[in-house]
Structure 1
Amino acid sequence: MCLIVKVLVLLGLYVSPIAMFRPPYDEQRYCGNLLRQYDPHLLDTFKLEMSQGIERFFLLSYCLACCWPGLGAKSELRVVRQWAVLDFNFPDEQTRAEAIEKRYFVPGNSVPIDVDVHHRQGEKRSRIFVTVPRFDVGRPITLGTVDENGKLTAYPDYSWHDNQGSNCNGMTSVFRVAIDQCQRLWVMDVGKIGENQVCPPQLLAFDLATDQLIYRHVVNSTAYTANSLFITPIVDVRPRGPGDCADTFVYAADVSGFGLLVVDIKRNLSWRAVHRLFYPYPSRGTFTIDGESFDLMDGIFGMALSPYQQGQSRYLYFHALASTTENILNTEVIRNDSLIQDPNIDPDAIYTFPNERPSQSASEAMDQSGILYFGLMDPPSVWCWNTATRFHASNFHAVAINQETLQFASGVKIVRNSKGEEELWVLTSSFQRVMTGSLTPDRINFRIHAEKVPNILENSPCRTSPKGEKHGHHVDIIASRVGHVRRPHKYGSAWYLRR
Structure 2
Amino acid sequence: VKMGGIKTLILLHLVYLTTCMDQLHILYEWKVLDYQFESPQARQEALDSKRYIPENNIPMGLEVYQDRLFVTVPRWKSGVPSSLNYINLKDNSTTSPVLIPYPNWAAHTFDENSPPEIISPFRVRADRCGRLWVLDNGKINNADVNETLIKKHQPSLIIYNLSNDNLIRRYIFPADQVKEDSGFANIAIEDSDCEKTYAYSADLGKAGLVVYSWEKNDSWRISHHYFHQDPLACDFNVKGINFTWEDAIFGLGLSAPNADNFSTLYFHPMASFNEFAVSTEYLRNKTVADNNFDAFKHLGDRGPNAQSSASFIDPKTGVLFYSLVNLNAVACWKTSNKDYTMKNQGRIYMNENTMIYPTDIKVDYDENLWILSNRMPIWKYGKWDLNDVNFRVFSAPVVDAISHTACDITPRTDILDKFLKTNTSTILIAGATTGNAVNAGPMTFATIFLLSWFISFGVLN
1:197, CA displacement in angstroms? 4.6
Distance 1:287 1:117 in 2: 30
Distance 1:432 1:165 in 2: 33
Equivalent residue in structure 1 for 2:128, among 181, 194, 214: 181
Q: Does 1:231 align with 2:181?
A: no
Task: Tell me the SS of whatever aligns to 2:55.
Answer: coil
What is the aligned partner in structure 1 of residue 176 from structure 2?
222
1:199, CA displacement in angstroms? 2.3
Query: Which region of structure 1 is more displaced relative to structure 2, 292-301 or 451-460?
Result: 451-460
1:355, CA displacement in angstroms? 3.2
Q: Does 1:369 align with 2:317?
A: yes
Q: Does 1:114 align with 2:68?
A: no
RMSD: 2.4
Q: How does 1:184-199 map to 2 (within 5 A)?
A: 184-195=131-142, 196-199=150-153
Question: CA separation of 1:439/1:31 partners in 2, compared to 1, >3 Å: closer, same or farther?
Answer: farther
Equivalent residue in structure 1 for 2:407, among 462, 466, 480: 462
Q: Deviations over 1:449-496 (max 9, x none)?
A: 000012223333312499xxxxxxxxxxxxxxxxxxxxxxxxxxxxxx
Instruction: Please tell me the residue identity of whatever aligns with 1:333.
Output: Y
Q: How does 1:275-354 map to 2 (within 5 A)?
A: 275-309=224-258, 311-338=260-287, 346-354=292-300
What is the aligned partner in structure 1 of residue 37 from structure 2?
90
Distance 1:133 1:263 in 2: 22
Is the contact between residue 75 and residue 455 of structure 1 (CA under 8 Å) also seen in structure 2?
A: no
What is the aligned partner in structure 1 of residue 10 from structure 2?
34
What is the aligned partner in structure 2 of residue 488 from structure 1?
none
Instruction: Please tell me the residue identity of whatever aligns with 2:407.
Output: C
What is the aligned partner in structure 2 of residue 210 from structure 1?
164
Is the contact between residue 70 and residue 85 of structure 2 (CA under 8 Å) also seen in structure 1?
A: yes
Equivalent residue in structure 2 for 1:381, among 329, 344, 347: 329
Distance 2:261 2:197 in 1: 15
Task: Tell me the SS of whatever aligns to 1:432.
Answer: helix
Q: Which runs of at least 4 in structure 1 moved beyond 6 Å after TM superposition?
A: none
Q: Does 1:270 align with 2:219?
A: yes
What is the aligned partner in structure 2 of residue 432 from structure 1?
377
Is the contact between residue 165 and residue 191 of structure 1 (CA under 8 Å) also seen in structure 2?
A: no
Distance 2:331 2:39 in 1: 43
How many residues were matched structurally?
394
Q: Deviations over 1:369-403 (max 9, x none)?
A: 21111121243111111112210110111111211
Is the contact between residue 184 and residue 206 of structure 1 (CA under 8 Å) also seen in structure 2?
A: yes
Instruction: Please tell me the residue identity of whatever aligns with 2:185.
Output: I
Instruction: Please tell me the residue identity of whatever aligns with 1:383.
Output: A
Distance 2:277 2:112 in 1: 36
Is the contact between residue 333 and residue 345 of structure 1 (CA under 8 Å) also seen in structure 2?
A: no
Is the contact between residue 72 and residue 84 of structure 2 (CA under 8 Å) also seen in structure 1?
A: yes
Is the contact between residue 275 and residue 345 of structure 1 (CA under 8 Å) also seen in structure 2?
A: no
Task: Tell me the SS of whatever aligns to 2:407.
Answer: helix
Task: Tell me the SS of whatever aligns to 2:57.
Answer: coil
Distance 2:200 2:113 in 1: 27
Distance 2:111 2:309 in 1: 27
Q: Could you state the TM-score of these two structures normalised by the residue count of structure 1?
A: 0.74
List gaps (5 residues or longer) in structure 2. 143-149, 412-461
Instruction: Please tell me the residue identity of whatever aligns with 1:176.
Output: R
Is the contact between residue 20 and residue 403 of structure 2 (CA under 8 Å) also seen in structure 1?
A: no
Q: Does 1:252 align with 2:184?
A: no
Distance 1:277 1:363 in 2: 17
Distance 2:112 2:295 in 1: 38
Instruction: Please tell me the residue identity of whatever aligns with 1:185.
Output: L
What is the aligned partner in structure 2 of residue 49 from structure 1?
none
What is the aligned partner in structure 1 of residue 86 from structure 2?
145
1:306, CA displacement in angstroms? 1.2
List gaps (5 residues or longer) in structure 1. 1-11, 16-29, 39-63, 120-125, 240-244, 467-499
1:168, CA displacement in angstroms? 4.2
1:232, CA displacement in angstroms? 0.6
1:437, CA displacement in angstroms? 3.5
Instruction: Please tell me the residue identity of whatever aligns with 1:286.
Output: D
Q: Deviations over 1:101-151 (max 9, x none)?
A: 4422111111101111111xxxxxx11110011112111110101254411
Q: How does 1:343-492 map to 2 (within 5 A)?
A: 346-358=292-304, 359-367=306-314, 368-389=316-337, 390-417=339-366, 422-464=367-409
1:312, CA displacement in angstroms? 2.9
Instruction: Please tell me the residue identity of whatever aligns with 1:216.
Output: R
Instruction: Please tell me the residue identity of whatever aligns with 1:202.
Output: S
Q: Deviations over 1:15-65 (max 9, x none)?
A: 9xxxxxxxxxxxxxx9973346x7xxxxxxxxxxxxxxxxxxxxxxxxx3x
Query: Which region of structure 1 is more displaced relative to structure 2, 152-161 or 195-204?
Result: 195-204
1:426, CA displacement in angstroms? 0.3
Is the contact between residue 202 and residue 210 of structure 2 (CA under 8 Å) also seen in structure 1?
A: yes
Instruction: Please tell me the residue identity of whatever aligns with 2:352.
Output: Q
1:310, CA displacement in angstroms? 5.9
Is the contact between residue 428 and residue 447 of structure 1 (CA under 8 Å) also seen in structure 2?
A: yes
Distance 2:340 2:176 in 1: 36
Task: Tell me the SS of whatever aligns to 1:434.
Answer: helix
What is the aligned partner in structure 2 of residue 171 from structure 1?
118
Alignment identity in percent? 29
Q: Deviations over 1:336-392 (max 9, x none)?
A: 0438xxx85743231112333341111111112211111212431111111122101
Instruction: Please tell me the residue identity of whatever aligns with 2:78.
Output: V
Is the contact between residue 325 and residue 355 of structure 1 (CA under 8 Å) also seen in structure 2?
A: yes
Instruction: Please tell me the residue identity of whatever aligns with 2:232.
Output: S
Distance 1:383 1:163 in 2: 40
Distance 1:309 1:290 in 2: 40
1:169, CA displacement in angstroms? 5.6
Is the contact between residue 276 and residue 300 of structure 2 (CA under 8 Å) also seen in structure 1?
A: no
Instruction: Please tell me the residue identity of whatever aligns with 1:436.
Output: Y
Instruction: Please tell me the residue identity of whatever aligns with 1:145.
Output: Y
What is the aligned partner in structure 2 of residue 81 from structure 1?
28
Distance 1:375 1:282 in 2: 20
